[in-house]
């Protein structure tokens, strides 16, 4: 059931963003885009992450609702075109996004390792002061 909930959370977020955001930003410009972000992303974040519709287990890689939005946007164009040409055209962007995610993960691990090292140094200094 947790996989179905996750799929449902991704699908709902993707459908709302792909169907409403563009219409609001086209009609009301920048203000419409901000309004769409507030009216779509905030409630979807509440449902998917705070209430836990999207299953993210402790210790596992965190997957955000942006994955569902990206899949919905890509597949919407595939279905509208009736061919896989939009998917093929999106491959360079997907490669860059994957490389960016890998870079972010490597940077996050390095920062976490550095913070742990600083915590050990601070703990050792605190012990020396207490002796």
Task: Report pLDDT for 109.
Answer: 93
Share above pLDDT 90 across residues of the chain, in percent, rounded to a whole number? 48
Are 98 and 90 contacting, i.e. CB atoms less than 8 angstroms apart?
A: no
Residue 108, classed as helix, strand or coil, is helix
Q: What is the mean pLDDT of residues 1-20?
A: 89
Q: Are residues 68 and 101 in the same domain?
A: no
How many domains are contained in the chain? 2
Task: Report pLDDT for 131.
Answer: 61
Q: What is the mean pLDDT of residues 28-32?
A: 94
Hey, CA dihedral for 100, 105, 108, 114, is it positive or negative? negative
Q: Are residues 99 and 60 in the same domain?
A: no
Range of the domain at 80: 1-84
Does residue 50 have a pLDDT over 70? yes
Does residue 30 have a pLDDT over 80? yes
**23: Cβ–Cβ under 8 A, 6 or more apart, which residues?**
none
Q: Are residues 22 and 76 in the same domain?
A: yes
Q: Are residues 75 and 99 in the same domain?
A: no
* pTM of the full structure: 0.67
Instruction: Please state, rounded to an integer, the average pLDDT across all residues of the chain.
Output: 88
Does residue 57 have a pLDDT over 80? no
Are 39 and 25 contacting, i.e. CB atoms less than 8 angstroms apart?
A: no
Q: Are residues 76 and 107 in the same domain?
A: no
Q: Are residues 96 and 80 in the same domain?
A: no
């Amino acid at each position: 059931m947790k996989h179905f909930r996750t799929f449902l959370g991704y699908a709902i977020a993707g459908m709302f963003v792909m169907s409403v955001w563009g219409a609001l930003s086209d009609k009301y410009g920048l203000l419409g885009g901000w309004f769409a972000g507030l009216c779509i992303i905030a409630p979807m974040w509440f449902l998917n992450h705070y209430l836990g519709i999207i299953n993210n287990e402790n210790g596992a890689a965190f997957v955000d609702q942006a994955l569902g939005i990206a899949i919905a946007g890509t597949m919407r164009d595939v279905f509208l075109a009736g061919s896989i040409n939009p998917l093929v055209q999106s491959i360079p962007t997907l490669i860059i996004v994957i490389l960016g995610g890998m870079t972010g993960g490597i940077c996050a691990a390095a920062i976490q390792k550095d913070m742990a090292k600083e915590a050990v140094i601070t703990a050792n200094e605190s012990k020396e002061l207490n002796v």
